[in-house]
């Protein structure tokens, strides 16, 4: 019985990717990782001091977990650039996309991938595949490619390939699309009043076309009443994750609910309910990024529900098997961490960053001159 309980605990752990406070590998963090055995961790600016410190934090965290972890970061360039103070600012998605030079899209992915891989990460939550519609322009700003689904597909495909070239897993986000939203899901629950026909033909087109290219699909805290007939966030919606993404679109990768500590989902439910509901709805994994107490509450809620409910336990086991199987066949997860980045390595990355920025600037100027 003890062994099966232990197995269930590790299976629940595989479903969680969590964030934490601090910049050092503390006994408290070691204990949390050892007990929970999470599927992954995610670092933010609050965790990052230097390339060497970041690498050490990831390396020591991995040692505390028996299976390879998803070592994650949000690294898009522009507004979402966790490494700019340690290396150099990377140009934004919209700047690169505006060049209309396909080769630069892939180079953008390679640059992002090379930077995150050098510091010890193996997952970059990019690209943004939301459409750059007028309604979301103030919220998403330079994070989007354009209002065109076809242009978004071209860029996202190349960026994902660029990340893959550097042995980094990417993630399409934020399914089914925040382009029609005017609110920030970090704070509020956005409601997109677009018809199913619009969503299927436009917002969902990048996810449909690139379904075999995305290791992860990150699901948004956003409501789509025309589809669900209520204000349930997609991140805890069976209609969106199981019926549409898994079955209708045919996505076979890892379905990941966005950070359950965000206002967009907590406006609708508690952290405990969000964690159990997203698994019931079809998520394989979920993020809890802000409060360490929320990590514990989410983990314990899923564990207790799995112990209580046989059907839920089977969903947990199925999701854990999918994640473990993905890790076993993923070349990115099999690779050893890059060596500790020295000053020469960082200088090289800064040089590549500068050269790429110049390429984008020159391509933009040529386009303007035409």
Catalytic positions are 186, 258
CA distance 236 to 280: 8
Could you tell me if 70 and 40 are in contact, meaning their C-beta atoms sit under 8 angstroms apart? Answer: yes
Burial status of residue 123 (CB atoms within 10 A of its CB: 0-12, 13-18, 19 or more)? buried
CB-based contact 97:148 (threshold 8 Å): no
**Token pair 């991995």 in the structure block, residue:** 62
The partner residues of 233 in beta bridges, in order of sequence, read 223
Place of tokens 């020295």: 342
- Rounding to the nearest 10 degrees, give the CA dihedral for residues 125, 126, 131, 132: 110
- Cis status of the peptide bond prior to 278, with omega within 30 of 0: no
Sorted by sequence, the CB contacts under 8 Å of residue 313 that are 6+ apart come out as: 8, 306, 307
């Amino acid at each position: 019985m003890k062994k099966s309980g232990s197995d269930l605990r590790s299976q629940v752990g595989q479903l969680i990717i969590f964030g934490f406070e601090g910049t050092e590998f503390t006994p408290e963090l070691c204990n949390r990782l050892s007990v929970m055995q999470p599927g992954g961790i995610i670092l933010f600016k609050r965790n990052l001091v230097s390339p060497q410190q970041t690498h050490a934090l990831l390396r020591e965290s991995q040692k505390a977990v028996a299976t390879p972890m998803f070592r994650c970061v949000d690294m898009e360039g522009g507004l979402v650039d966790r490494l700019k103070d340690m290396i150099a600012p990377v140009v934004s998605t919209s700047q690169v996309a505006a060049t209309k030079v396909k080769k630069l899209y892939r180079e953008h992915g390679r640059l992002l991938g090379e930077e995150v891989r050098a510091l010890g990460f193996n997952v970059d939550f990019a690209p943004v595949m939301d459409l750059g519609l007028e309604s979301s322009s103030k919220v998403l700003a330079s994070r989007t490619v354009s209002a065109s689904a076809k242009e978004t597909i071209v860029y996202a495909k190349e960026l994902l390939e660029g990340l893959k070239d550097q042995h980094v897993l990417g993630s399409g986000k934020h399914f089914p699309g925040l382009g029609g939203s005017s609110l920030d899901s970090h704070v509020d629950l956005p409601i997109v009043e677009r018809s199913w026909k619009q969503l299927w033909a436009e917002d969902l087109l990048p996810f449909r076309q690139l379904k075999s290219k995305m290791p992860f699909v990150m699901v948004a805290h956003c409501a789509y009443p025309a589809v669900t007939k209520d204000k349930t966030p997609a991140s805890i919606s069976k209609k969106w994750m199981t019926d549409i993404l898994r079955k209708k679109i045919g996505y076979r990768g890892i379905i990941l609910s966005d950070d359950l500590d965000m206002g967009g989902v907590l406006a609708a439910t508690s952290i405990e309910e969000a964690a159990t509901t997203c698994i019931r709805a079809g998520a394989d994994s979920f993020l809890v990024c802000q409060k360490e107490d929320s990590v514990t509450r989410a983990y314990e809620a899923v564990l207790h529900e799995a112990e209580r409910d046989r059907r839920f336990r089977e969903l947990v086991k199925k999701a854990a098997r999918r994640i473990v199987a993905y890790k076993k066949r993923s070349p990115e997860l099999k690779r050893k961490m890059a060596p500790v980045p020295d000053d020469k390595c960082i200088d090289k990355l800064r040089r590549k960053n500068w050269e790429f920025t110049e390429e984008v600037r020159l391509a933009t100027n040529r386009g303007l001159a035409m």
